[in-house]
Amino acid sequence: MAKVQIILTYLAALALAFWVLTPIILVTLSAFADPRDYYNVMKLLPSSFTLANIYELLFVLGTWRNVITSLAVAVLAILISMGLGVPAGYVLARYSFRGRDTLKLTIMGLRAFPLIVVAVPLTVIFMQVGIADSILGVALAHSILAIPIVIFMAYSTFAGIPTQIEEAAYIDGLDEFSAFLRVTLPVSAPGLAAIAIQVFIISWNETFIAGILTLRNRTLPPEILASILTAPDPYKFAGALIMMLPAVLFTFLLRKRLIAAWGITLR
């Protein structure tokens, strides 16, 4: 019986890996495929590859500027949303006060609003302030989208950390803020890494608000929708690869912290 369970577990893992990796592999092959090979109906998969698709997309069409803008927006969104959301999650996890459950429900309800309901007022406000077509404006908009998720993920992270470790720090002479910085924050690092990845993915993939707020400082997704979709297929796959690659690399580099957040260790 145990062997059957092990075999079924491995089969399920292989099926899941196939489900996840197949589109990634196909997008990668198509992005580097020679156009003559790609449009050859006699070939199921391309056999000759080129960097021309990526090069022309980035440097001939100028998409590298949008990549840099997307990265800058994502980093700013991580800093802003985590700077505001992580302390809020900590307060919700560690302190009992009147209206705490109502506040949590209110924060959760913010995610129920359609993007268009948020985008139009934000555009008006940002135009009045003068940050509508700027990296800061898009980062603030993405932070608004991400903060409810950051708060709840931070709440779950800190709620899973025993209060005894902070109490031991108090006995050793640390005040509450020092105990948070020197004890609680390092222990919560895997969870915070997962939060950062989530915010990065939200910001990197967001299209609607970024498309409304920007004209010159566009992030990559609205630029791809505006121009790349009319290009040949290899350019489309090259754009998809560029969209996919940072999130995959970010997740791969922080995989140990992510798995540690689930209570598993990697050797």
Q: Is 130 left (phi over 0), alpha (psi -120 to 50) or beta?
A: left
> Using CA atoms, how far apart are residues 59 and 25, in angstroms rounded to an integer?
24
Please count the residues of the chain.
267
3-state secondary structure of 33: strand
194/70: higher pLDDT:
70
> Shortest CA distance to 27 belongs to which of 226, 229, 235?
235
- How far is it, in rounded angstroms, from Cα 168 to Cα 70? 43
* Cβ atoms of residues 14 and 223 within 8 Å: no
The verdict on residue 243 lying in a domain is yes
Q: Are residues 152 and 198 in the same domain?
A: yes
Number of domain units in the chain: 2
Is 240 part of a structural domain of the chain? yes
Q: What is the pLDDT of residue 253?
A: 73
- The pLDDT mean for the chain works out to 85
* Nearest one of 166, 183, 118 to 144, comparing CA atoms: 118
Residues 38 and 131 grouped into a single domain: no
Residue 153 has pLDDT above 60, yes or no: yes
**Tokens encoding 226:** 């505006």
Q: Output the pLDDT for position 165.
A: 86
The model's pLDDT over 7-35, given as tens digits with 9 standing for 90+, comes to 888 899 999 989 988 988 989 988 998 88
One domain, residues 20 and 137: no
Q: 77-91, 109-123, 235-249: which has the highest mean pLDDT? A: 77-91
- Shared-domain flag, residues 198 and 178: yes
49: left (phi over 0), alpha (psi -120 to 50) or beta: beta
Residue 227's pLDDT band (cuts 50, 70, 90):
confident
Q: How confident is the model at residue 266 (pLDDT cuts 50, 70, 90)?
A: very low
The CATH number of whichever domain residue 153 belongs to comes to: 1.10.3720.10
Do residues 11 and 121 both lie within one domain? no
pLDDT for 260 equals: 56
- Is pLDDT larger for residue 248 or for residue 222? 222
57 and 27 fall within a common domain: no
Same domain, 45 and 62: no
Question: Which domain, by its residues, includes 12?
Answer: 1-50
Same domain (yes/no): 31, 106: no
Q: CA 162, CA 174: separation in Å to the nearest integer?
A: 17
What is the reported pLDDT for 167?
A: 84
Domain endpoint, select from 30, 50, 70: 50
